[in-house]
Amino acid sequence: MRDIIVRPAARFVLLGILTACGSDDSSVGGAGDASPSDAAALRDSAHSDGLALQDSARSDGAAPEDGAPSTGGDSAAEDSAATPSDASHDATRDDAGVDAGATDATTEDAAPADASAPTPDGAPADAHAIDSGVAGCTLPAYLATETTPIGWASLNGGTTGGGSATPVLVTTLADLSAAAKGASAAVIYVKGDLEQGTLAIGSNKTIIGCSEGATIRGHVQISKSKNLVLRNLNFVGYNCAPPDVDTTDGGQCQNGQDAITVQTSVTNVWFDHDAVSDGSDGNLDITHASDFITVSYTKFFYSTQRTDPHDTGDAGHRFSSLIGHSDNNASEDTGHLNVTFHHDWWGQYVVERMPRVRFGKVHLFNNVFSSTGNNYCTRAGTYAQILLEDNVYDDVNSPWEFNSTTDQGTASISASGNDFINGTSGMNGSSGGGTAFAASTYYSYTADPVTNLEASVKASAGPM
């Protein structure tokens, strides 16, 4: 029997525009999981909280260990006991590509190819939405009830983004880039499928996708930023293709851009109800002492089973989320890289890094892992402290593991209440020589029972 930790009655409340929103949930690509009526019911009952902060400017490339190609991104020594594909590079880079162009898969795990198309459960795009107060943009109703994040983003003063700033609507990458730069508080609504490119996000921003659909393609760079809220958005990376990477000319996916890079002392970010797919390097990488981050109701996946012929082969460097880029960065990362993942879904074609962790205290509860054919789900590297509670593992390999016997001596994995179904295998035990952490000593949360959790998460993860 697992312990249920009850949230406190007092909760941070997001000021102004966010509290004027309403409530609903839907998945990106959950068509096969529930009928429209069932999905709506699940969405209406399967929610929690969220919020975020941050500033921005560049990417993970200047330092030798995280820039140019390495001979073993997780380091050759630590990967001696690792799967060959995770021995590839953990680097992120400064230069951005411009083209994603990947076709979205049509299975239940895929995001809709057209961001303005009906939601995956068959409901119209404006179902369960509310008036934003801005012409041409409706917002999902959950914004009215889920006004603050659970987890690490609730600490360090909380995550409020642009607060009560007057909202603006953008429909182009150029306009979004202009609105998102700098440190002035801003609330930005995004509508449409924007052109590919690089988006840098400054501090004190709330960016919300309209229910009519909002897709940001290419690379999102968050560097040195504070206090960000990013909700209801579809992020699509370059998918290891030109102009980011050309594998037909010797290119390697790990030398390309993440879909989203969070690096260099970024603090207080809340990703909520987003879909993140097709990053050339990673989908969402968090590095260089970034901290106080919550990722909730978000789906991670790849639209194709791409390959990476000059590096990771058939695995295609489909390695979703890296927390901590190098074993050699203890002086910067120790005490940071604290991240909460809850009610997230790692779906089709993800091979590894759900996430892969160094140094940080990372809490995962009520998530779904259904990426059949993967190598592993969550991996603890040097000095990682990982807490896994009440997650569902559906037909996957190695739900969690240590990166190596050496890393097992410094890292900790604590696990309880998790559900393993449909042939899930290869668990490598928990414990470890490192110090375990209890999330409840830092923040309050409620872990839902695993019964029916998979259906509810698949119905609610992603934009609406």
Cα distance between residue 21 and residue 16, in whole Å:
10
pLDDT, position 430:
78
Cα distances (Å, whole numbers) of residue 112 to 121, 172, 213, 219, 338: 11, 19, 10, 19, 31
User: With the CA atoms of 43, 451, 414 and 298 taken in that order, what torsion angle do they form, in degrees rounded to the nearest 10?
Assistant: -20
- Least confident range from 123-127, 382-386, 450-454: namely 123-127
Q: What is the pLDDT of residues 4-62, one digit of tens each?
A: 333 333 333 333 344 333 333 333 333 333 333 343 343 444 333 333 333 333 333 33
Q: How far apart are the first and last CA of the chain?
A: 34
Q: Are 182 and 201 in contact (CB under 8 A)?
A: no
Cβ-based neighbour number of residue 325 at 10 Å? 28
pLDDT at 102 over 50: no
pLDDT band per the 50, 70, 90 thresholds, residue 128: low
pLDDT at 172 over 60: yes
pLDDT, position 457:
98
The separation between CA 322 and the C-alpha centre of its own chain, rounded to angstroms, equals 10
Identified catalytic residue from 353, 356, 358, 379: 353
pLDDT at 411 over 60: yes
The ranges assigned to domains in the chain are: 16-460
pLDDT at 123 over 60: no
pLDDT, position 223:
98
Q: Specify the residue for token string 């002492």.
A: 289
pLDDT, position 12:
32
pLDDT at 65 over 90: no
Q: Which residue has the higher pLDDT, 232 or 82?
A: 232
pLDDT at 161 over 50: yes
The separation between CA 314 and the C-alpha centre of its own chain, rounded to angstroms, equals 23
Cα distances (Å, whole numbers) of residue 48 to 258, 285, 343: 28, 24, 9
pLDDT, position 443:
98
Q: Which CATH code fits 16-460?
A: 2.160.20.10
Write down the mean pLDDT value for the chain.
80
Cα distance between residue 265 and residue 200, in whole Å:
15
Annotation marks residue 306 as catalytic: no
Q: Is the pTM of this model over 0.75?
A: yes
pLDDT at 427 over 50: yes
pLDDT, position 88:
40
Q: Are 413 and 400 in contact (CB under 8 A)?
A: yes
Q: What is the pLDDT of residues 309-364, one digit of tens each?
A: 999 999 999 999 999 999 999 999 999 999 999 999 999 999 999 999 999 999 99
Nearest CA among 288, 386, 383 for reference residue 337: 288
Residue 154 neighbours by CB under 8 Å, 6+ apart: 12, 49, 51, 148, 294, 443
